[in-house]
A and B are shown apart, each in its own frame.
Chain A
Amino acid sequence: DTEVTQTPKHLVMGMTNKKSLKCEQHMGHRAMYWYKQKAKKPPELMFVYSYEKLSINESVPSRFSPECPNSSLLNLHLHALQPEDSALYLCASSQAIDRASDGYTFGSGTRLTVV
């Protein structure tokens, strides 16, 4: 199994809603990541988890709350989002953060629209 699975694929939510994005991998990877990608822009790093611990938060607003329940799962909890948060949210994983020679495997993303 060489996939990173993200659900849901599409999500429309209101600004007062609470929702969660889910990401799962079964490749034994110990580093997992959340990226945000706006149209015609490159992915931008949001969070890094290493061995189930948050190791990087790129100054992301608190309305985004990551969670890593175990080594295979990564969630992103959303609350009180703004329309400008609409984007493609990508989850990725890699062997480990100290394996600099490894690239990432990305999930297919969740396309989020905030209305």
Chain B
Amino acid sequence: RKEVEQDPGPFNVPEGATVAFNCTYSNSASQSFFWYRQDCRKEPKLLMSVYSSGNEDGRFTAQLNRASQYISLLIRDSKLSDSATYLCVVNLGAQKLVFGQGTRLTINP
């Protein structure tokens, strides 16, 4: 079983739609969680950290469910500029981040 699993997509949604991604992780001792965004041929950029209480940043909402070992990302009122690959990332606490394979999102006009 992979340490971090994501649906690779692709997700194709119309502009203005709400889209949600889920990610599961296998190591119950994982310490912290993140969503990164990566544009084509660019480096990953931190989108947001994910906290047990859930957190929101504008149109983006992240949730963590430690009991079920999954995290989620919700994007409301999607924009064309949201088109990217979204990487679920888990800090195992062993000095390394582990990346999911990424979910590819395309927002269509």
Question: Which A positions have Cβ atoms within 8 angstroms of B?
Answer: 31, 33, 41-45, 48, 50, 55-56, 88, 90, 97, 100-109, 111
Let me know if A106 and B43 touch, CB within 8 A: yes
Q: How many residues of B contact A (CB 8 A)?
A: 23
Let me know if A105 and B46 touch, CB within 8 A: yes
**Residues of chain A lying within 8 A (CB to CB) of residue B93:** 100
**Residues of chain B lying within 8 A (CB to CB) of residue A105:** 46
B99 interface hit (Cβ, 8 Å): yes
Let me know if B31 and A103 touch, CB within 8 A: no
Query: Helix, strand, loop or mixed for chain B's interface?
Result: strand
Let me know if A97 and B95 touch, CB within 8 A: yes
Let me know if A108 and B43 touch, CB within 8 A: yes
Let me know if B32 and A100 touch, CB within 8 A: yes
Shortest distance between the CB of A57 and any CB in chain B (Å)? 11
Greatest chain B CB density within 10 A among A31, A44, A45, A107 is at: A45
In the complex, chain B residues 72-109 whose Cβ is within 8 Å of any chain A Cβ:
87, 89, 91, 93, 95-102
A104 partner, pick from B31, B97, B100, B101, beta carbons under 8 A: B97
A43 to B44, CA, bound (A): 9
A106 to B89, CA, bound (A): 14
Let me know if B97 and A42 touch, CB within 8 A: no
- Subset of 24 A-B contacts with CB under 8 Å: A42-B99, A42-B102, A43-B44, A43-B99, A44-B99, A45-B96, A45-B97, A45-B98, A56-B96, A88-B41, A90-B43, A90-B44, A97-B95, A100-B31, A100-B32, A100-B91, A100-B93, A101-B32, A101-B49, A103-B97, A104-B46, A105-B46, A106-B45, A108-B42
